[in-house]
Amino acid sequence: MEAEDDRQFVKYSFYQVAPEWRRLDPETKARGKREVVAVISELSERMMIRPYVLTGTRADSDFFLWTVALGLEDLQTLATRIYSTHMGGYLSTPHSFLAMTRKSQYIDRHSHENQEGKRLKIQPVGSKYLFVYPFVKTRDWYLLPLKERQAMMDTHIKVGHKYPRVRINTSYSFGLDDQDFVVSFESDHPGDFLDLVMELRETKASKHTVRDTPIFTGISMGIDETLDALGD
């Protein structure tokens, strides 16, 4: 078992702005944005916070924050501070996924340039796009012999290696949230991710998927640009 200090909490928080926000006068909106920017800037000194724009790609969320922290308290503080701003009164959270890092039981014996199976620290590569979704497997999957699961995952991993321009970040939610895993994929090439997902649908392991939605396609921007994308 990994030492607790070696693991990280991973949170994807999705925000939707109320229609009333867009009808506020420009100065009031600008003040609210400045307050949120100040919160993100301050708390980024003790945790990783990466914003992504969803305006134009999702109907139920406008942007999300990919946050990595050493403690749950840091995640709670961030949420409280955001909702305490003037803009926070106009924000709702239609989706929220919580997870932790841990070693993979399937990939340790594979050679992988990202060392996904051995890495307990999230290390983003700074791609333009991030694709995120929760993932739930069938209970029957966990009752299969490990050797049988490993064989199916070997195929799954082999397919993934065909798309080196797509970087996966896997985190685990067992007992912490509603899903089994939260997976995110960094890439500068959305077409590669689309082709990867299509090919993975044809693997034997995919029949053990219960749910892998909702799926979010985020565009990486600074927090100032992210809030400006909501409209002046």
Q: Does residue 34 contact residue 42 with C-beta atoms inside 8 Å? A: no
pTM above 0.85, yes or no: yes
Number of domains within the chain: 2
Strand partners, 51: 65
pLDDT tens, position by position, 66-98? 999 999 999 999 999 999 999 999 999 999 999
Q: Does residue 52 contact residue 64 with C-beta atoms inside 8 Å? A: yes
Position with higher pLDDT, 6 vs 110: 6
Asked if residue 227 belongs to a domain, the reply is no
pLDDT greater than 70 at residue 1 = no
Last residue of a domain, one of 72, 99, 126: 99
Q: Does residue 96 contact residue 11 with C-beta atoms inside 8 Å? A: yes
104: left (phi over 0), alpha (psi -120 to 50) or beta: beta
We report the CATH number of the domain holding residue 89 as 3.30.70.1030
Is the domain of 66 the same as that of 148? no
Last residue of a domain, one of 66, 99, 132: 99
Last residue of a domain, one of 73, 99, 125: 99
Rounded to 5°, angle at Cα 149 from 147 and 152? 110
Lowest mean per-residue pLDDT among 41-45, 100-104, 205-209: 100-104
Strand partners, 169: 184
pLDDT, position 3: 53
Q: Give the C-alpha distances (Å, rounded to integers) separating 125 from 20, 87, 114, 188.
A: 36, 30, 10, 10
Asked if residue 188 belongs to a domain, the reply is yes
Is the domain of 81 the same as that of 26? yes
Rounded to 5°, angle at Cα 129 from 68 and 6? 20
Q: Does residue 216 contact residue 64 with C-beta atoms inside 8 Å? A: yes
Is the domain of 85 the same as that of 115? no
Domain of residue 68, residue span: 4-99
pLDDT, position 111: 43
Is the domain of 116 the same as that of 94? no
